Structure 1
Amino acid sequence: MKILVTGSTDGLGLAAAETLMAQGHAVVVHARNEDRAAGLAALTAQGAALVVGDLEDRDAVARIAAELNAAEPPEAVIHNAGVWSGRAVMPVNVIAPYLLTALLDGPRRHVYLSSGSHYSGHARLQGVDWTGTVAGSYGDSKLFLTAFVAALARVRPDLLAHAVDPGWVPTRMGGPDAPDDLDLGHRTQVWLATSDDPDALTSGGYWFHRARRAPHEAVHDTAFQDDLLRVLAAETGVALPAGQ
């Protein structure tokens, strides 16, 4: 299976890419820029394909999608890239995965990195700065992303969409004192992207260590989902393609 892992230069993304390659999958790794891409030399030397682009830049996201579509597109995407704070929160955590989902032709499985912080998010779309002119709320971004997963599962039943809380793990973003298990942090994403286990073939779930959990109550509010899809389509000028 060919699988794209965004934000795969370190942490959970790198661990997922390494595990997938060890399992024999064809992996596409992603780096924000050429300097970061140099850190993926060990994987590209083993045959991993590489795409480079800053997910904060919508044009770069579109270029990555076009590059992948021009080749044999991936069958699955682990939308791993994310930022904790600052102006890139909404562009990277919400806009980029939305655009990749809408623009990529091939993937039938999409796994999105959510967070337990989504429980602190606010289900309000009015006044959200999607461009990153001002700093965004991490909790809000993960709530929006988790609701997008539920919406995608509803409106695109031909796809498998999953949201995963990897735990608070000691990555560059999580910090060295994070209490959760780094090794367990990527395994649910890999399982959902590749497994034919009946549980992995469901869609719309919010997962923690291969167990489904109840998300924020707004996630399954279909009116909120519809508003979110409408806002994202209007903001980006890109609507989700109809299901097949």
Structure 2
Amino acid sequence: MARVFITGSTDGLGAMSARLLIDEGHRVVLHARNASRADDAHAATPNAEAIVTGDLSNIAAMRDVAEQANRLGHFDAIIHNVGIGYREPRRIETADGLPHVFATNVLAPYVLTALIARPQRLVFLSSGMHHGSRANLGDIEWTQRRWNGAQAYAESKFMDVLLALAVARRWPDVLSNALEPGWVPTKMGGPSAPDNLDLAHRTQAWLAVSDDDDARVSGRYFFHMRERACDPSARDEALQDKLIAICERLSGVKLER
């Protein structure tokens, strides 16, 4: 059985993935933003092995979460589930002076990937909204443009695909993939979301632990346990490397080859 760390797993798809994996006999470590949410997560998922806490919108907490995870021992898989949605009406700045959406959705998965002991598998949650977003890496901090929450979210999800593919290329011994769960009625998706919630969490769990040949691949993009084409521009290696360089500069954390 596998040992899996899931970020943003107090509710929504992260919690659903955790419960599915636990029911299948896997060991799961949860992540909560603060102690109060950790208590809620423990009550909802009492069979989780442990819970680490930290607000993944700021770099110091990202580092601390990575340290907490490393103290717990090696993981077979990490699911980067934590995320901020597309409804932020203005540019909310973190303690590090970065847009909240970018810090949580992109920089946190980068820092945790770089600092947590390398697992066998990495799973990055993207979105169908990444198609056509053409992330503006020249204005990643949204200082040159008028804020658009939906566009900021779509760009962050495009960057998550860039991260997954960059890691797959740099770390050939790790299975690194991205997926879209669909537009489902979670807190982020809203009650009117039309896609099937029961299917939304299964792909990340499957990619994290399955021995199916279709899941034991790297550098791919999935939807409902089937491979799907990502936006073609996400396969631009120069673009991937540019994002890695930006994340390294902003966080002070290097992704070792």
CA-based RMSD of the aligned residues comes to 1.7
Code of the residue aligned with 1:152 in structure 2: it is V
Helix, strand or coil at the partner of 1:112: strand
Map 1:85-96 → 2, pairs under 5 A: 85=86, 86=88, 87=92, 88-96=100-108
Match of 2:248 in 1: 233
| Residue 168 of structure 1 pairs with residue 183 of structure 2 | yes
- Contact 2:19/2:45 (<8 A) preserved: no
Provide the rounded CA distance (Å) in 2 between the counterparts of 1:104 and 1:43. Answer: 26
| 1:105 equivalent in alignment to 2:105 | no
Amino acid at match of 2:37: R
Cα-to-partner distance string for 1:215-242 (whole Å, 9 max, x where unaligned):
1121111111111111111121111122
Residue in structure 2 matched with residue 151 of structure 1 by the alignment: 166
Q: Measure the CA separation in 2 of the matches of 1:161 and 1:148.
A: 9
Stretch deviating more after TM superposition (210-219 or 172-181): 210-219
Distance 1:130 1:230, change over 3 A: farther
CA contact (8 A) 2:16 2:201 kept: yes
Distance 1:235 1:135, change over 3 A: farther
What is the rounded CA distance, in whole Å, between the counterparts of 1:221 and 1:41 in structure 2?
41
SS of alignment partner, residue 28 of structure 1: strand
| Normalised TM-score (structure 1) | 0.93
Aligned mates of 1:220, 1:50 — CA distance in 2: 35
Task: State the percentage of identical aligned residues.
Answer: 46
Structure 1 residue 43, shift from structure 2 partner:
5.2
Change (3 A) 1:51 1:135: farther
Distance 2:18 2:132 in 1: 30
Indicate the residue corresponding to 2:95 in structure 1.
none
2:199 corresponds to which of 174, 184, 189: 184
**1:116 pairs with 106, 121, 128, which one?**
128
1:14-56 deviation per Cα after TM superposition (whole angstroms, max 9, x unaligned)? 1000001101111001111112112112355324310111110
Q: Give the SS at the match of 1:146.
A: helix
Equivalent residue pairs, number: 240
Q: Counterparts in 2 of 1:44-123, with a 5 A limit? A: 45-85=46-86, 86=88, 87=92, 88-123=100-135
TM-score calculated relative to the size of structure 2: 0.89
Task: After TM superposition, give the deviation of residue 130 of structure 1 in Å.
Answer: 8.1
CA spacing shift, 1:92–1:47, aligned 2, 3 Å: closer
Deviation at 1:191, TM superposition (A): 0.5
